[in-house]
Amino acid sequence: MSSFFVAGTDTNVGKTTAARAMIQALQGQGVQVVGYKPIACCGEESIYPVAQSENTSDYDHFVNADVLTLMHSTKENVSYQDINSYTFSHCAPMLTQDKMRIKLDKINYDLTRLNQTYQSVVVEGSFGLMTPMAEGKSFADWITQRKMPVVLVVGIKDGCVNHALLTVKVIQQLGVPLLGWIANRINPLLSHYAEIVDLLVEHIDAPLLGKIPYLHKPEEQELGHYLTNIDRLMYMQTEFIK
């Protein structure tokens, strides 16, 4: 069916929070939707100790908080391995020999399986759009190959305007659709938050899908109602199913 790629202007800007909001909002419209994070870094605790049918060497015997959030955001019955292809215990596998373990064929297979099972898949990237992914390819290369439309998450902070507009420019150059963007407030003390959002609305040639305020433990909260332009996602989901 349809897939959306959640890209961030940087790391720690709230991609997982935005993905949770998208999943919950689409579920509220009756869409069967799951999240998918191909590559997860910074594993936190031992993964299931019992033997599994999947190759556990792809998981470093750790689980990742972002994948767990995606797993708990959907009403669909999915396992950790269903929505993640690789979990690494450290935070930068793309910079080490671990990058040799990442195979695009496996990631493509896993995403195709999810697309064939559910109406929509919210795919969360790692780090920024131009970050190396695997086999000499970046996340930007991969989504271009998959022709996957993008939702951009902008962590609202000092300096985010430049990061956001540069990322939008890259997306336009890739030729993939930019469905819209989400403003995620990550600095509660930022005094000119509203002015930054207004400036981005003026300069980003894509609709603002919603504004997520600064929240304590967003992974435990209902976030779907913060997306006030869910009709855009519903329309595009229908278009990409055709």
Active-site pick, 37, 75, 99, 106: 37
Tell me the C-alpha distance between 150 and 137, whole Å: 18
Residue 66 marked as a ligand binder: yes
Residue 208 marked as a ligand binder: no
Tokens 């913060």, residue located: 226
Residue 185 marked as a ligand binder: yes
Residue 44 marked as a ligand binder: no
Residue 137 among the catalytic residues: no
Residue 16 marked as a ligand binder: yes
Residue 20 marked as a ligand binder: no
Tell me the C-alpha distance between 109 and 55, whole Å: 15
**What residues contact 117, with CB distance under 8 A and at least 6 apart?**
none
Query: Cα–Cα distances in Å, from 162 out to 28, 123, 128, 179, 231?
Result: 34, 24, 14, 20, 28
Residue 60 marked as a ligand binder: no
Determine which helix (DSSP H) or strand (DSSP E) holds 198, and give its type and residue range: helix 193-203
Task: Measure the CA angle with vertex 236, ends 234 and 240; round to 5°.
Answer: 120
30 DSSP 8-state letter:
T
Residue 176 marked as a ligand binder: no
Determine which helix (DSSP H) or strand (DSSP E) holds 168, and give its type and residue range: helix 160-174
Residue 12 marked as a ligand binder: yes
Residue 214 marked as a ligand binder: yes
Tell me the C-alpha distance between 211 and 154, whole Å: 10
Cite the annotated binding site for Mg(2+) by residue number: 16, 66, 124
Q: Name the binding residues.
A: 12-17, 66, 124, 184-185, 213-215, 220
**Residues designated as active site:** 37
Annotated binding-site members for ATP: 12-17, 66, 184-185, 213-215, 220
